[in-house]
Amino acid sequence: MSYATLDLSTDARGVARLVLNRPDKHNALSAQMLADLTEAADRLAADDAVRVVVLTGAGKSFCAGGDLAWMQEQMAADPDTRAREAGKLAHMLQKLNTLPKPLIGAVQGNAFGGGVGMASVCDIAIGADHLKMGLTETRLGIIPATIGPYVIARMGEGRARRVFMNGRLFGAVDAVGLGLLVRAVPADALEDAVEAEVEPYLSCAPGAVAAAKKLARDLGPRIDEGTIAMTIAALKARWETEEAAEGIGAFFDRRKAVWMPQDQST
């Protein structure tokens, strides 16, 4: 099945492929993509024929984070509208995080910001060894708020604090060390590596897999409506700061924000 921003198909074994399909925009998360992902997650959860879901992206990038036009709309919006839009991202991630099917990420290209959040909700994520990842929000004066619960749950707080606040980019090997990826492989070996993760599930009872995944989630860090509301409130407050206005404004003006090292003329 095709959505405006996704492709969704299921093979005879019950292996679904959910493909982020905005390659010209590096699969950035737009309002339409958030709606499509939410609907697709509901469809996959309800489809008894689906045994495993593989999440990947079309083109060179897995997911570049927030769509630029969407970000500009948030800058112009009132605080309550911003909060509602943040809630759409948070609840979409929660649906994928609690999907009662194994979710395997085939991270074929770069993942930034929300793209790291997308990788974090996968039960297993394997990446191409050339990719770069990064939580770049603080460069813009904002914070990785609504993706934060999933990133922290995936990495653990100690490892997350190495990259959660500094905006630095890191490669696939570091992503494995941080716990975001289980391993990194050459791009031409990614499909085989993903298939090796898919195959064992096809010998397991689907209901038992769903119950085991729910138990693992219940035993892990709590991510509930209270957690989601707290992250939305934190992001809403951050959007109101002078730093956010400066950082995002500088990004769209193609200049350095005032806190960045400035070029010194001689």
Burial call 186-202: b when 16+ CB within 10 Å, e when fewer? eeeebeebbeebbeebe
The DSSP code sequence of 59-114 is SSEEE-SB-HHHHHHHHHS-HHHHHHHHHHHHHHHHHHHT-SS-EEEEE-SEEETH
Type of residue found at 214:
K
Closest by Cα among 115, 42, 79, 9 to 240? 79
Q: Do 132 and 93 meet the contact criterion of CB atoms below 8 Å apart?
A: no
How many Cα atoms are found within 13 Å in the side-chain-facing hemisphere of 244? 16
- Collapsing DSSP to helix, strand or coil, 123 comes out as coil
39 part of the active site = no
DSSP H helical segments within the chain, as ranges? 31-46, 68-76, 79-97, 114-120, 148-155, 157-160, 172-178, 190-198, 206-219, 225-239, 242-253
- Collapsing DSSP to helix, strand or coil, 128 comes out as strand
Catalytic residue among 39, 137, 157, 240: 137
Catalytic residues, by residue number, are 137
